[in-house]
Structure 1
Amino acid sequence: MDKLRKSPRGIMGFPVTPMDSRGNIDLDGLRANIDFLIKSGLSSIFVVCGAGELQSVSNDEYKEIVRVAVERTKGKVPLYTGVGGNIKQALEQARISQELGADGYLIFPPYLIDPSQDGLYAYLSTIINSTDLNAIVYNRGNCLLEVETLQKLCELPQLVGFKDGIGNIELNAELTHAIGDRLEWINGMPLAEVTMAAYLNLGFKSYSSAISNYIPHISIKYYHALLNGNKAEAREIYENVILPIHRIRKKKKGYAVALIKAGMEIVGLPVGTNVRPPVTPVEKEHYEELEHIIKKALEKYPNDVKV
Structure 2
Amino acid sequence: MKHLELAKKLETISAINLTPFYKDTKEIDWNSLKANIDFLIANGTEVIVPCGNTGEFYALTLDEVKEVTEKVVDYVDGKAVVMAGIGYSVPTAIELGKAAKNAGTDCVMIHQPIHPYVTDSGAVSYFKEIITNIDLPVVLYFKDPNLSDDILIDLAPLENLVGVKYAINDLPRFTKTVREYPRKDGITWICGSAEKWAPYFYHAGATGFTSGLINIAPEKSFLMLEALKNDDHETVWRVWEDTLPFEELRAKNNNGNNVIVIKEALERISFTAGVTREPVDALSAEDRQGLENILSGWGLLRTGVETV
Unaligned runs of 5+ in 1: 300-307
CA–CA separation in structure 2 for the residues paired with 1:142 and 1:105: 22
What residue number does 2:287 align with? 286
1:184 to 171, 184, 188: 188
Q: CA deviation at 1:7?
A: 5.2
CA–CA separation in structure 1 for the residues paired with 2:235 and 2:50: 31
What residue number does 1:48 align with? 51
CA–CA separation in structure 1 for the residues paired with 2:112 and 2:60: 16
What residue number does 2:257 align with? 255
- The CA deviation string for residues 224-259 of structure 1, in whole angstroms up to 9 with x for no partner, is 2233233333333222x3121133223334211111
Q: Does 1:20 align with 2:22?
A: yes
CA–CA separation in structure 1 for the residues paired with 2:230 and 2:8: 24
Query: Residue 250 of structure 1: SS of its match in structure 2?
Result: helix
| Amino acid aligned to 1:248 | L
Q: CA deviation at 1:261?
A: 0.7
Residues 27-66 of structure 1: matches in 2 within 5 Å? 27-66=30-69
2:216 to 214, 217, 223: 214
CA–CA separation in structure 1 for the residues paired with 2:146 and 2:93: 15
CA–CA separation in structure 2 for the residues paired with 1:42 and 1:222: 14
- Range 209-218 or range 286-295, more displaced: 286-295
What residue number does 2:228 align with? 226
- The CA deviation string for residues 109-148 of structure 1, in whole angstroms up to 9 with x for no partner, is 222233222211110011111221110011113773423x
Q: CA deviation at 1:33?
A: 0.7
CA–CA separation in structure 2 for the residues paired with 1:158 and 1:79: 16
CA–CA separation in structure 2 for the residues paired with 1:238 and 1:255: 19
CA–CA separation in structure 2 for the residues paired with 1:221 and 1:146: 31
What residue number does 1:297 align with? 298
Query: Residue 298 of structure 2: SS of its match in structure 1?
Result: helix
Query: Residue 89 of structure 1: SS of its match in structure 2?
Result: helix
Q: Does 1:139 align with 2:142?
A: yes
What residue number does 2:244 align with? 243
CA–CA separation in structure 2 for the residues paired with 1:124 and 1:153: 8
Query: Residue 48 of structure 2: SS of its match in structure 1?
Result: strand
CA–CA separation in structure 1 for the residues paired with 2:272 and 2:102: 29
TM-score when normalising by structure 2 = 0.89
Q: CA deviation at 1:154?
A: 1.9
- Range 28-37 or range 288-297, more displaced: 288-297
Q: CA deviation at 1:5?
A: 5.8
- Range 279-288 or range 161-170, more displaced: 279-288
- Range 85-94 or range 75-84, more displaced: 85-94
1:78 to 81, 84, 102: 81
| Amino acid aligned to 2:66 | K
Query: Residue 252 of structure 1: SS of its match in structure 2?
Result: helix
Q: CA deviation at 1:92?
A: 1.7
Query: Residue 55 of structure 2: SS of its match in structure 1?
Result: coil
Q: CA deviation at 1:4?
A: 5.1
Residues 142-221 of structure 1: matches in 2 within 5 Å? 144-147=147-150, 149-179=151-181, 180-189=184-193, 192-221=194-223
Q: CA deviation at 1:264?
A: 1.6
- Range 212-221 or range 286-295, more displaced: 286-295
Kindly, what percent of the aligned residue pairs are identical? 28
Q: 1:176 to 1:131 in 2, by over 3 A?
A: same
Q: Is the 8 A contact 2:191 2:208 kept in 1?
A: yes
Aligned CA RMSD, in angstroms, stands at 1.9
CA–CA separation in structure 2 for the residues paired with 1:138 and 1:283: 29
CA–CA separation in structure 2 for the residues paired with 1:162 and 1:211: 20
CA–CA separation in structure 1 for the residues paired with 2:146 and 2:51: 19
Q: CA deviation at 1:24?
A: 0.4
What residue number does 1:304 align with? none
